[in-house]
């Protein structure tokens, strides 16, 4: 205990250098006064009177103060070895005294020897001395206040002396307001973390059998799935202190700062154990080492090394559980993921339809819902949405209802919020000319007809030619009736067909097509290329062709660059196969639209008049006008390498 106290004292002095400055400023007046007392030779009062009466000694510049007599002694003749024509020796002196009233003969002696050539303060100078002392006290107080202000300014958050201090936020037991009741849709992850809560509440239950709780729990999943919310719920259920910070809080340009912050974090956590340390975005700190060959001792790697030691070093921390969250697990260092550090990995994935409904119930607890609101239907309209998306959807619906002066949030508000999240904000201010409006109606009607004709297509919920978002002049909203985790070859081909429906409808009606087909063609080409290169759904066989990137499991569209693993000849065959798939889809879609040109015109006229057609109204319109759906299988026979056709099985 004594050793720890001394270490804390040294660390306190090292972390508060301005206190040393204050102590120095406090000692300066004392040193100055002591220096003043030491100016010249100090003579006793009796010695001063002897010198004053001695022959050959000249005393000048005498000042008789309230407590001290000061002056100069000029030594001459035998007393000083004075040689004529040489300068006399001058010495300063000071003599303590208690005032003229204590020695009435002093004034007479001074008058005889100095003939009135001296200066004497009256006894009121004592009050002047007290005034000087009071002024000195004021100056000392001003220095003290200035020093305290500087300490607070420089030692506060972001101060230059706080580089080595951790930037965590500490939430005490009374600050926890989140529990597992506020977490929905991720029951498997909650079940994994209940064991951690039980250990923090009753550690002796596990220690009695020789077991130990995992030192680290890594939460992995897409953004917005509730990883941070889960960590707060664990702290709220266990009722223990909760340290929260981000992985980027450790990273600085100054060498050694990150490692110092890690040490400071764990040092404070040990004093509040049992507790939880939550590090969000761990990949900013725990990225694999060895990437910088030119500088292997960079600051980030030193910080990671210190974290590894703190989590599982010789001085093992007891009662401190590390929880971290990331959506880039493939980037983390293997030493960080090994057992003994992050022992357990909890996947927080996208919720299914039941999970989304449960999440909607949590977020609508304090919302005044209308009688027509169906949370199950809203959940079915939002496949792939995570907790953050659904929370934003509920908030958008409530804001829309408030803008329109409603007393409750109705289903129409939720439908509008779903469309706003899927397509973008409605832009009624954009006015299109009549010919452009009709062309957009033809384009969207083509998408809708092909979607309704293909048996593997998701149901159409709405067709609109009202501009939304950035550059979208119209849209067809399709949503699956249930969750889909895989897609068959026929379903992918259907998506290609629907994507080509708009531009082919324009071609049949106008003889050409406009630039609005660019985004459709991009999506179509992407699907066809993935079918060939990733899924083996072509004549090239069941081969995976990597082309410059490896996708992330949780962040779509992002990946790390890598070498291409196929030749230029194979790349040309891939391009030809992509063209073959799109050409085949073009012929299928053109046949569907030719058989239903009259129905297409009816849908276009309704869109021009109403601008929006709901799904039920669209199906009723198609059935009344002799719509002919596609009855043949969508999947075309996949030619083999030797030229013989064979039918591919959907998986």
Partnered with residue 324 across adjacent β-strands are 218, 279
What superfamily would CATH give domain 434-646? Peptidase M41 (1.20.58.760)
**Closest C-alpha to 250, from 215, 284, 298:** 284
> Token pair for residue 2?
């004594």
Domain boundaries, the chain: 15-162, 169-347, 353-422, 434-646
pLDDT at site 309: 84
Question: Does the structure show a pLDDT above 80 at 371?
Answer: yes
Q: Alpha-carbon distance 95 to 59, whole Å?
A: 13
Q: Which CATH class is domain 169-347?
A: alpha beta
| 434-453 vs 568-595: helix crossing angle, rounded to 10 | 100
Q: Compare 635 and 455 and report the one with higher pLDDT.
A: 455
DSSP string covering 478-541: E--SS--S---HHHHHHHHHHHHHHHHHHHHHHSS--GGGHHHHHHHHHHHHHHHHTS--STT-
The domain 353-422 is placed in CATH, from the list 3.40.50.1580, 1.10.8.60, 2.70.98.10, 1.20.120.80, at: 1.10.8.60
Q: Is 396 a catalytic residue?
A: no
Residues 234/276, Cβ–Cβ less than 8 Å: yes
Largest CA distance in the chain: 143
pLDDT over threshold 70, residue 638: no
Q: Kindly report the average pLDDT of the chain as a whole number.
A: 75
Q: What percent of the chain has pLDDT over 70?
A: 67
Task: Report helix angle 434-453 to 615-624, nearest 10.
Answer: 80
pLDDT, tens digit (0-9, with 9 covering 90-100), for 424-464:
776 666 677 888 889 999 999 999 999 999 888 888 888 98
Quick check: helix, strand or coil at residue 323? strand
Q: Exposed/middle/buried for 163, CB within 10 Å: 0-12, 13-18, 19+?
A: middle
Instruction: Flag whether pLDDT at 586 surpasses 70.
Output: yes
Assigned token pair, 87: 């300068």
| 514 burial type by CB count under 10 A (0-12 exposed, 13-18 middle, 19+ buried) | middle
Give the CATH class of 15-162: alpha beta
User: Most confidently modeled of 301-305, 461-465, 494-498?
Assistant: 494-498
pLDDT of residue 270: 83
For residues 289-312, average pLDDT: 71
Assess contact for 555 and 328: CB atoms under 8 A: yes
pLDDT tens string 223-261? 888 888 888 888 888 888 888 888 777 776 555 677 788
**Which of 237, 419, 444, 491 is labelled catalytic?**
444
Q: CB–CB of 255/222 below 8 Å?
A: no
pLDDT score recorded for residue 581: 93
The two beta strands, 242-246 and 169-171, are: antiparallel
Count, residues in the chain: 651
Q: Evaluate if residue 631 carries a pLDDT over 80.
A: no
pLDDT for 650: 31
Instruction: Tell me if domain 353-422 and domain 434-646 are identical in fold.
Output: no
Given a cut of 90, whether residue 174 has pLDDT beyond it is no
Q: How far, in Å, CA of 489 to CA of 509, rounded?
A: 30
pLDDT of residue 645: 37
* Bond preceding residue 274 cis, omega within 30 of 0: yes
């Amino acid at each position: 205990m004594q050793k720890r106290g001394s270490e804390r004292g040294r660390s306190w002095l090292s972390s508060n250098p301005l206190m040393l400055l204050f102590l120095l400023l406090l000692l300066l007046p004392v040193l100055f006064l002591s220096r003043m007392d030491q100016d010249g030779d100090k003579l006793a009062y009796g010695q001063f009177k002897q010198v004053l009466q001695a022959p050959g000694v000249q005393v000048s510049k005498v000042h008789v103060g309230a407590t001290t007599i000061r002056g100069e002694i000029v030594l001459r003749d035998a007393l000083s070895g004075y040689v004529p024509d040489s300068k006399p020796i001058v010495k300063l002196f000071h003599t303590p005294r208690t005032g003229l009233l204590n020695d009435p003969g002093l004034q007479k002696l001074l008058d005889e020897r100095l003939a009135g050539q001296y200066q004497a303060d009256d006894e009121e100078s004592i009050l002047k001395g007290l005034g000087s002392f009071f002024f000195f006290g004021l100056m000392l107080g001003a220095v003290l206040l200035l020093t305290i202000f500087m300490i607070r300014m420089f030692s506060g958050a972001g101060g230059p002396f706080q580089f080595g201090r951790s930037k965590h936020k500490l939430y005490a037991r009374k600050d926890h307001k989140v529990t597992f009741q506020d977490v929905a849709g991720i029951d498997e992850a909650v079940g994994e973390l209940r064991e951690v809560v039980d250990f923090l509440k009753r550690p002796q239950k596990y220690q009695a059998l020789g077991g130990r709780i995992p030192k680290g729990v890594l939460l992995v999943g897409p953004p917005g799935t509730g990883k941070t919310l889960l960590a707060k719920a664990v702290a709220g259920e266990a009722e223990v202190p909760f340290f929260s910070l981000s992985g980027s809080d450790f990273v600085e340009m100054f060498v050694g700062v990150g490692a110092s912050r890690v040490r400071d974090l764990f040092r404070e956590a040990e004093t509040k154990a049992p507790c939880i340390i939550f590090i969000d975005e761990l990949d900013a700190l725990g990225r694999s080492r060895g990437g910088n060959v030119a500088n292997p001792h960079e600051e980030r790697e030193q910080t990671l090394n210190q974290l590894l030691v703190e989590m599982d070093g010789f001085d093992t921390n007891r009662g401190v559980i590390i929880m971290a969250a990331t959506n880039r697990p493939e980037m983390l260092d293997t030493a960080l993921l090994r057992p003994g550090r992050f022992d357990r990995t909890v996947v927080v994935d996208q919720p299914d339809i039941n999970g989304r409904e449960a999440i909607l119930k949590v977020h609508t607890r304090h919302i005044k819902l209308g009688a027509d609101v169906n949370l199950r239907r809203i959940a079915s309209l939002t496949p792939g949405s995570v907790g953050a998306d659904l929370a934003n959807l509920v908030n958008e619906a409530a804001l829309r209802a408030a803008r329109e002066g409603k007393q409750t949030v109705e289903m129409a508000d939720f439908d509008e919020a779903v469309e706003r999240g899927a397509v973008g904000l409605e832009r009624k201010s954009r006015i299109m000319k009549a010919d452009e409006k009709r062309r957009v109606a033809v384009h969207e009607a083509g998408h809708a007809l092909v979607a309704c004709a293909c048996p593997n297509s998701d149901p159409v919920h709405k067709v609109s030619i009202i501009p939304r978002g950035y550059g979208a002049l119209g849209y067809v909203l399709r949503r699956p009736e249930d969750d889909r985790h895989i897609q068959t070859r026929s379903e992918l081909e259907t998506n290609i067909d629907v994507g080509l429906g708009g531009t082919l409808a324009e071609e049949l009606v106008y003889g050409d097509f406009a630039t609005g087909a660019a985004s459709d063609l991009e999506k179509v080409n992407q699907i066809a290329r993935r079918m060939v290169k990733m899924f083996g759904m072509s004549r090239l066989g069941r081969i995976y062709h990597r082309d410059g990137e490896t996708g992330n499991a949780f962040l779509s569209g992002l990946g790390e660059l890598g070498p291409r693993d196929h030749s230029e000849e194979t790349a040309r065959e891939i391009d030809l196969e992509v063209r073959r798939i799109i050409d085949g889809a073009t012929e299928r879609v053109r046949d569907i639209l030719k058989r239903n040109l009259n129905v297409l015109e009816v849908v276009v006229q309704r869109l021009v008049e109403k601008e929006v057609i709901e799904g039920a109204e669209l199906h009723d319109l198609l059935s009344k006008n002799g719509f002919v759906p596609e009855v043949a299988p969508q999947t075309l026979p996949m030619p083999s390498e030797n030229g013989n056709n064979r039918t591919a099985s959907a998986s």
